[in-house]
Each structure stands twice: as C-alpha cells, then as structure tokens.
A and B are shown apart, each in its own frame.
Chain A
Amino acid sequence: MKFKNFVIFCILIFLFSCSSKKSKQEIVIWHWMTDREEVFNKLAQKYSESKVVTVKFETYAPSDVYREKVRAAAQGGLLPDIYSPLGDQRELASFIKAGYIEDLTEYMNTGWKDWFFEAVLQQNTYKENNEWNLKAGIYGVPIDVVSIQIFYNKKIFEKLNLSVPKTFDEFINVCRKLRESNIQPFVSGFGEEWLIDVFSKSFEYQILGEEGMIKTIKGEIKYTDPRWIQVFELFEKMRDEKIFAEGIITMINKDAERVFATEKAAMALNGSWGINVYSGMNPDLKYDVFMPPKIANAKYPLRIWVSSSFLNVNPKSKFKQQAVEFLKWLTEEQQQIILSKETKNIPSNKNVSSEIESDVLKNFASNIDKSFPTLPVVENWKVIGTKCRGIQSIIIGQKTAKQLALELQKEKEKVISEIKLGSN
C-alpha cells in the first residue's frame, strides 16, 4: 500500500512539473557561439527583466556537434524556438522546404531589413526562380558579421620597410623580400578546405565575375576554360615564389593563427575573429589588415568573404511571435553596441558601425559591401572539395594548374550526370 502511494505521489510530481513548464513563456535559443555565451546570457537577462517572456540561450559546441544536434532535433520535431541550421544555402533551403524555418519577410518589410548590411541579409534571402524553388523571401536574422582579409605583422613590415601590397605582383614582391629575410610570408588554415575556397574565390570573382561563376556552376563554362586555369596558375606562382608557410596544407586555422601570433609568418588570411584570437595569444602583436591582392587587368572587381551568424525562427514554435520580437530587440542599436563591444565582432546593424572601437575591425567593416555575391545556384560540395584538394596538390607541387582543371571538369561532369539521373 505504501509503495502504491509512493508511485502515485511520483506521478503527480511528474505531471505537476510538466504542466508548470508548459505554462511558462520561455523562448529557447540554441547556438554554437561559445565566445558569445556570456554576453548572450546578459542580454537574455536584460530582456527577461523588461518583458513577460524569459529567454534562455543554450550553447552546443563545437559547431559539428551543434549541427548534428539540430538535424536530430529536426527529425524528432524537437527544435527550439530559435536556432540556426549552420550550413550553406543548399542546407538552409532543405530546412525551409521541410518546414523547419519561418519566412520572416513580412516582419522584415516593416523597416527591419533596412537596419542590416544588404550583402549580409542576402545570405538568408532567396530570390524568385531560385535553384531550390523556394518562395522568395528573407528567412534569417543576422546577429553579427565576420569577414576574411589578410592580416599583416606591422612590426615586420616596418622593419623590412615593406608597404601594404595592393596588387598580386606587389604581393609577390613583398613575399619575395620576406623570404629573403628568412621570414615565412603567408599562412592560413589551408588544412580546412573552406579557407582555400575563400582565398581562391577572391581570384575567381576577379577573373570570371558573378556571371562567369554562375555559368560555371550551371556547367556552361568548363573548368578547363583558360580563365579557370589562370586562377590555378596564381597558386602555382605563389608556390614557386615560396610564399606559403611550412605545412600550410594540413594546418587547421587554430594552428595557422598560432604561427601568425608567434610572428613565425608575416601575413595570415583569417577572419575578423582573429582580432580576439591574436590578442589572447600575443597581446603585444601589432597588426592590421588588407584586402586580398588585386590581379592586374582583372575584368571584375575584387570581392571578399563576408558571413554572418544568423538565427532562424522555428515556425512550429508556440512562441513564434515572441521569438521574432526578441530577435528584433537583439538587433536594435543598443543591444548591437553591447554585442560588438563585448565580442569584438562587427555588428549586423549597419547604423552602429561607427561605434566599433578597434581600428582593425573598422577596416573590416568598411569593406563589407565588397562581399562575394549570393548566387542563385550553389556549386556541388564534391566539386568544391576536388578544387580545394587540387589546390593543396598544386601547393605541394603534385599537380599543375592544367591537371587540376581537367580533374575538376571530370568531377563536374560526373556530378552533372548524377543530377540528370536523379531528376529522371
């Protein structure tokens, strides 16, 4: 009898705890940004004090683990109110198609979208007739912005009397002088394919332009086209001039950051987050940034990689309206200033970019409009992988530009035939 009473008591406690949770208005946000955890919690507390709704940020890191968690939760119908699928446009499109992401166009059209950098907002925006047949609209809210440029060590540059290179030839000359002084010119986390892609794209856009890139993705321009070979030949040139740091092709970005922070390389292709990283690794390091080199006689303007930490709203959330309101509050000027100051990231709200304290970050922010355009089509990941591994091979002298072009075209044709088979 006693046992029976105990069981009933436990069931009642369980039911009570469940019901009390349901009646509470709590917005749950899943994110992967460990460096922003503290400030997010502060802002959540600030918001909860002024509103009826409480906000809870839950961090899941590293980003791989976060991605898997989101995918599993999507399958189980357990997504939180606000989250991000963390992926490219293709992956985002899959989430939207499956009904896991809310269309925010209606909210954004109330003037909200004017707060953001145009180039940044485009990354979660789908235009009419897009590759995925999605309804045109804005699907995400940018929280802050990151961009990739080339950091350089001011002390080394001053010591060797070097000026910041603007063109590719100047860049090569600077590298030559650095090598002559036994300093490794350039480092980056080229063990991570996406960083090779970012560097390569800054040349690709100059040589092929937006239209050329789209045509290549559609298969109308072959990778064996002389323009593509010209892109790969730039890497041959850089390899021959010994610009790359020792072991660059298996370095993850953390290793590359260490090489630059310990002054073992004079230049580093890295993101704006590097400001935080370098100040932690070597507070005395003096550096600034410059844009990737411009190719002489390039037909098209120089473009750089710009991205943003987006948050998306779960359309099945019980507190969808409140979730949107919170995101609007988070991107208001006051909160964006706090976020930028605490995290040293570029705010997504363009109206507060003048509030950025760091000169280097200001330099990053001033070039956001030069971002790679958001294309209506995305290259298949296998083709990108083949390209990046091919560039690695060029760097270590295993392949020539022409060999890579042929191999890449072969992979592209394979992917095209797979897509054709799939659609049949």
Chain B
Amino acid sequence: MKKDYHISNALFVLPAVLMFAIFTIYPFVKTFQLSVYEWDGISPNMKFVGFKNYIDIILADKIFWKSMTNAGVITLLALTFQNLLALILAVIIDRGIKFEKFFRTVYFIPPILSGVVVGLVWKWIYDGNYGILNTILSYIGLEKCATSWLSNPKTALLSVAIVHMWKGFGWGFIILLSGLQTIPRELYEASSIDGADSFKQFYYVTVPLMIPIFFIVSILTILGTMQIFDLIYSMTRGGPAGATEVPISYIYRYMSNNELGYATAMAVIFGIVLFLLSILQIKISRKLKKV
C-alpha cells in the first residue's frame, strides 16, 4: 500500500521532472559540453579543446571584456536613474493623485512594447539626417548640440542606455508601487503623530520596509540589462566601431560565424558573472535587512 502510494506520487512528479530535465538540465549540460569543443555547428565531428576557449576569453579577448564593461555601464545607469525615476513615480502615484489609473497604464506601456520596435522608433528619433531630436534642438537654438547620436562613439552608448531606461522603468514602477501599497498606513499615521515630516517618513518607514522590493527590482534590473540585445541590434548592431557592443551581441556574432564552442564558452562565463552578481546582491540585501 505504502509502495503504491510512493509510485503514484512519483508518477505525478515525473512529468514535471522530465520537462525540467529536457528543457533546463539538458541544455545547460549541452552548453557546457559545447564550450569545451571547437565546432562549426555543421560538421559531424567536434574537436575537443578542453578549457582553451575559457582561457582565451578570460586572458586575451579584450572585446568580450569591453562588451561586459558596456553592459555594466548601461546596468549602472539603469540601476540608478531608471530605478530612481520608477521610485519617484511610484511614490507620487501611491500618494493618490488624480488620474492615478491613467498614469499607471501609461507608465507600463513602454515595457510591453517590442524591443526591436522601440529600437527602430528611437533610431528614427536619434537619426542625424531627419531625426526629431536634432530638429527640436535646432528649433530651440541648440543646433550646435545636434549630432548623429548613434554614430558618435561618445554619445552612442548613453543614447542606447536612455532608451533602455525609458523602456524599462515601467517594470520597476509597477513592482515598487505594489510594494509601497503593502506598507500599513497606520505606520505613517503613527510616525506623523511622533512629528515625522514626509522626508523622515520616507527614510524611516518606507525605505526599511521596501528593502526586499528594492532587492527584487535591482536583481531584475541587473539580469535584464546585462542581457540587453534587441535594442542594441535594432539601433546600432554593436557599432559604431564596437562602441555599443554588449556580451549577447558579441556572442551572437560568434554564433553567426559558426564558432559555436567559443560562443558557448562566452555564454557560460557570462552566466557565471550574472550568477555571482546575484549572489553578491543577495548578501548585500541580507546585510541591509539586518541594519
């Protein structure tokens, strides 16, 4: 009877385990396996190279690390400005302003748009020949500031980062707003009776209770931004001269040129970096909670 019970339990779990094994464990193992081979993706023969791909990437591939730096810069901007904007807007909406539902909907429109579409629209805005941005700058007398935003290596990365932040702040906004709405109103009333002004209420009530939410938002921001690709591909393709190259676009370039072993090794290293970043963030968050 007990045996039957266990068998039936195992049978219920089996489909989920199988799905997990096929769609998660197998690709993971296969990716690692490919990364220690040299393979063009076509030939039936793969050449085992051990950790050569890893050594080459870590020690000699400057472009890969430059692409990581680029992604890091966009991530840093998103972590600060994008999330700050999201927080400010969430706090304003949480205070109960007029047309609250309207704003809530409007702020959530950019994240649901396709990255490629957003990229193409903004590419049009930034265009040096007929872009709206340069037209506006000329109209208000700032024609000296007009430039080919995406073709100038000094402005290209920042231009892409701005679009990414515009597209992404809605996620943070929704999560932060839902977090703010879970804070009991009584706490604000009590702190108000104790003489706390709005700033003190925010600092002593909102911030400590929002730390788990800040943590989730920052984890999602880091993971989402480091893996940026669709905007880059549709706006600059990693150009000008590699100024906006990010890890995924670089990996994609190797994949497209049939260097699957090297590309998957980069993917593994990139995955490890993201994993370590997440661990670091969890630790920081735990420390903050204790404080």
Contact = CB atoms under 8 A, between A and B. Distances in A.
A247 B239 contact: no
Interface string A181-220: 0001000000110000000000000000000000000000
Interface string A254-282: 01000100101000000000000000000
Contacts of A399: 241
Interface stretch (B98-106, B123-131, B221-229): B123-131
Contact of B127 (A74, A95, A247, A390): A247
B242 interface: yes
Nearest to A254: B120
Contact of A259 (B60, B129, B152, B241): B129
A302 B256 CA distance: 31
Nearest to B134: A246
Interface string A93-116: 011011010000000000000000
A390 B38 CA distance: 27
B43 A98 contact: yes
B44 interface: yes
A177 interface: no
B278 interface: no
B240 A249 contact: yes
Main secondary structure of the interface of B (DSSP, over half): loop
B42 A91 contact: yes
Contacts of B130: 262, 264
Nearest to A388: B241
Interface string A389-424: 110110010110000000000000010000000100
A250 B240 contact: yes
B237 interface: yes
Contacts of A414: 60
B41 A396 contact: no
A3 interface: no
Contact of B241 (A381, A390, A422): A390
B258 A245 contact: no
Interface string A349-363: 000000000000000
A64 interface: yes
A393 B240 CA distance: 8
A71 interface: yes
A252 B237 CA distance: 9
B42 A247 contact: no
Nearest to A245: B129
A248 B43 contact: no
B153 interface: yes
Interface string B228-269: 000000011101111000000000010011100000000000
For chain A, which range describes its interface: under 10, 10 to 19, 20 to 34, or 35 or more residues? 35 or more
A192 B239 CA distance: 9
B40 interface: yes
A247 B148 contact: yes
B237 A250 contact: yes
Contacts of A382: 257
A74 B44 CA distance: 10
B90 interface: no
B156 interface: yes
B22 to A, nearest CB: 16
Nearest to B238: A389
A399 B47 CA distance: 38
B151 A396 contact: yes
B150 interface: yes
Given A259-B129, A398-B241, A249 B151 contact: yes
Contacts of B153: 396, 398
B252 to A, nearest CB: 9
B129 A94 contact: no
B34 to A, nearest CB: 12
A421 to B, nearest CB: 8
Interface string B204-230: 000000000000000000000000000
Interface string B15-52: 00000000000000000000000101111100100000
Given A192-B237, A392-B241, A396-B241, A246 B42 contact: no
Enumerate the 9 nearest inter-chain pairs by beta-carbon distance, A residue then B residue, closest first: A246-B128, A247-B148, A247-B128, A247-B151, A94-B42, A393-B241, A392-B241, A250-B151, A381-B257
Interface of B: 38, 40-44, 47, 60, 123, 127-130, 148, 150-153, 156, 235-237, 239-242, 253, 256-258
26 contacts: A64-B256, A67-B256, A71-B42, A75-B41, A91-B40, A91-B42, A94-B40, A98-B44, A192-B237, A246-B148, A247-B129, A249-B239, A249-B240, A249-B241, A250-B156, A250-B235, A250-B237, A250-B240, A251-B151, A259-B129, A382-B257, A389-B242, A392-B241, A396-B241, A399-B241, A414-B60
Interface of A: 64, 67, 71, 74-75, 85, 87, 91, 94-95, 97-98, 100, 184, 191-192, 245-252, 255, 259, 262, 264, 381-382, 385, 389-390, 392-393, 396, 398-399, 414, 422
